[in-house]
């Protein structure tokens, strides 16, 4: 077996499309940020199945990669969210907190497709107390060859260490802190990088990581990762390796409906490419295809792939 493991959040996404832009609402005083009191009016409110982990697993499921999703959810996960994932090829191995609710993400997308988000962890915080080895057993984990870990420092480090300790170099580990990058201390970030084969972030998150590390992209490689993947939205992505950088062109979507989850779709394509034995640059190009398909529909788990696209 050659299966992907996704460790990350499962959440309900509540997304508001708002009038105007975030930038025009920000108040500057003498060229500097002053006190802010922002107000937006919404065009539309939509609710979707979401969460970084579930979004990535969904994309892998569409590609028939039989992903395993490890997360923590609340009493509202079953039956609808669970059935949705299973019907799209995902095997959810989730811990259920019966006295809590599944995590929620509240997003505000403006007319330039820029976004402000609020994360409400709810049951997801219990993932910190659960053992990945006890949940799956050594036999199931031994089938995993590519794994991605997303989220907050304590949870991510705990499960990355467990996977690396059990599987050693057999598993290719992708470290994906996302917007939680700001919560990593310098020590925690160094620990996570030492366990990873690939470090993937968007351009803003990369600048934040380099600020925490007080270094450059080249300084990351001696810490562990063999590659740093920097996604840049509509501008494509960059594959940084010790011997140089490779630009990966964006795939132009047929339309842009909503950008939530596009980066997660990219990660699903990347993992699929690695599972199929593709080079990193080829895997990144597959990621670009899925990222484009994701933005064509609203929500991170609504796009579909044709048989031709999968082939």
List, for residues 87-114, the tens digit of each pLDDT value: 999 999 999 999 999 999 998 888 887 8
Residue 27 lies in a domain: no
pLDDT tens profile 125-172: 999 899 998 888 888 888 999 999 998 999 999 999 999 999 999 999
| DSSP symbol at 3 | E
DSSP state of 186: H
Could you give the CA distance from residue 59 to residue 37 in angstroms, rounded to a whole number?
38
Is 23 within a domain?
Answer: no
The total domain count for the chain is 1
CA distance 163 to 122: 25
DSSP-assigned beta bridge partners for residue 14? 47, 106
Task: Say if 43 falls within a structural domain.
Answer: no
Q: What is the CATH number of the domain that holds 63?
A: 3.40.1190.20
Asked if residue 20 belongs to a domain, the reply is no
Q: Kindly state whether residue 33 falls inside one of the protein's structural domains.
A: no
CA-CA-CA-CA torsion for 221, 146, 263, 245, nearest 10 degrees? Answer: 30
**Does residue 137 fall inside a structural domain?**
yes
What is the DSSP secondary-structure string of 8-76?
Answer: ---EEEEEEEESS-HHHH--EETTEE--------EEEEEEEEE-HHHHHHHHHHHTT---EEEEEEETT
pLDDT tens figures, 253-298? 999 888 889 999 999 999 999 999 999 999 999 999 999 999 999 8
Is 210 part of a structural domain of the chain? yes
Which residues constitute the domain of residue 255? 3-12+49-104+112-310
Structure tokens at 102: 């599944």
Q: For 46-75, what is each residue's pLDDT tens digit?
A: 999 999 999 999 999 999 999 999 999 999
Tell me, yes or no, whether 29 lies in a domain.
Answer: no
Interval 165-206: pLDDT, tens: 999 999 999 999 998 999 999 999 999 999 999 999 999 999
Total-model pTM: 0.92
Tokens of 244: 């140089």
Distance CA 145, CA 4 (A): 6
């Amino acid at each position: 077996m050659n299966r992907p493991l996704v460790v990350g959040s499962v959440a309900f996404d509540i997304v508001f499309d708002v009038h105007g832009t975030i930038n025009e609402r920000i108040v500057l005083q003498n060229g500097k940020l002053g006190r802010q009191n922002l107000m937006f009016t919404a065009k539309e409110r939509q609710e979707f199945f979401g969460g970084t982990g579930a979004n990535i697993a969904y994309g892998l499921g569409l590609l028939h990669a039989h992903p395993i999703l490890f997360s923590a959810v609340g009493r509202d996960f079953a039956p609808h969210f669970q059935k949705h994932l299973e019907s799209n090829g995902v095997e959810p191995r989730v811990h259920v907190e019966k006295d809590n609710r599944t995590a929620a993400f509240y997003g505000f997308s403006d007319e330039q497709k820029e976004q402000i988000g609020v994360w409400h962890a709810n049951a997801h915080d219990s993932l910190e107390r659960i053992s990945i080895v006890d949940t799956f057993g050594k036999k199931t984990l031994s089938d995993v060859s590519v794994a991605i870990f997303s989220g907050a420092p304590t949870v991510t480090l705990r499960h990355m260490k467990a996977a690396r300790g059990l599987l050693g170099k057999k598993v290719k580990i992708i470290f994906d802190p996302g917007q939680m990058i700001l919560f990593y201390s310098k020590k925690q970030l160094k620990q996570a990088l030492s366990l990873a084969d690939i470090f993937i972030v968007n351009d803003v998150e990369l600048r934040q990581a380099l600020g925490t590390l007080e270094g450059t992209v080249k300084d990351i490689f001696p810490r562990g990762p063999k590659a740093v993947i920097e996604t840049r939205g509509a501008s494509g992505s960059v594959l940084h390796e010790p011997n140089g950088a490779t630009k990966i062109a964006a795939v132009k979507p047929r339309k842009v409906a909503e950008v939530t989850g596009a980066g997660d779709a990219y990660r699903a394509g990347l993992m699929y490419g690695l599972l199929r034995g593709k080079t990193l640059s080829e895997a990144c190009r597959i990621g670009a295809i899925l990222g484009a398909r994701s933005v064509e529909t609203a929500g991170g788990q609504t796009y579909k792939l044709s048989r031709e696209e999968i082939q």
